[in-house]
Structure 1
Amino acid sequence: MATNKADTSQGNVFHKTRRDHSNEIAEDYVEAIAQLHSEDGACRVTRLARRLGVSHVTANRTVARLVSRGLVTTSPYQPIELTDSGRRLARTAKARHEIVIDFLISIGVPAEIATADSEGIEHHCSPETLKAMKHFSNTRNH
């Protein structure tokens, strides 16, 4: 059976999309874990699941994937801890998130809507776009 170039190309696109989606989830989780540590001093799966609006099972499975990626550590009945890599990713995700929110607010989007919309936008902006958003927000707000 011959391999069709269009199938291979489409397969590559789907693979990239799945990888990107996996990265988005990882970023959202480590950002939430960092927030919960900041607020509560610890992050447990039950609280993380509530924060992200997912089931306990989904949160457990995702945390297991984060452990395998070296972003968090945990043990049964123990809090979730970010590794150095996880902390770096959480800081980067938070900074991107804040840039997008500030930009949306600077163009007149109400804060509540900007916060909700930023959840989807933040993962799909290139560094160049984020830099331009930050520059625009800084010049508009000063």
Structure 2
Amino acid sequence: MDGRRRRFGEGPNPYELTDESPVYVISVAAQLSGLHPQTLRQYDRLGLVSPDRTAGRGRRYSARDIQLLRQVTQLSQDEGVNLAGIKRIIELENQVAALQERIAELQGAVEGAATAMRQREAAVHASYRRDLVPYQDVQQASALVVWRPRRDQER
């Protein structure tokens, strides 16, 4: 994607559910992630997990958000990372993902340019004249040429 979350109803098929589709209310997201709903609200305030909002400002979590909540839990409980550290880790992971996506785009552009260059090069080679040029063996001549300046140039 282009760095922003795709909302339900956007894109080529508005009814297609993806990992980014916000479908879970906070109580279901809390159950799926194993956290208390108040913890989810706190994580939202801290910017660790930012669920989409409905028109009435209710939170809607996606499968990706649930996965992220589980990752936050694992980092804080199993690894002992504080919430500020977790937020930084998430930001850096998002940056890496965006950069990898950009690298893939640039590699595609480079490959496209290389293909176009090869096609142009082939077109130039195809435009060369292919006339046969007879080969003439050049014989070494043994003629001697003597140059003498004219008298009026001697002065």
TM-score by length of 1: 0.25
Greater RCO, 1 or 2 (C-alpha within 8 Å, sep 6+): 1
Mark the structure with the bigger radius of gyration: 2
Between Structure 1 and Structure 2, which shows a larger proportion of helix residues?
1
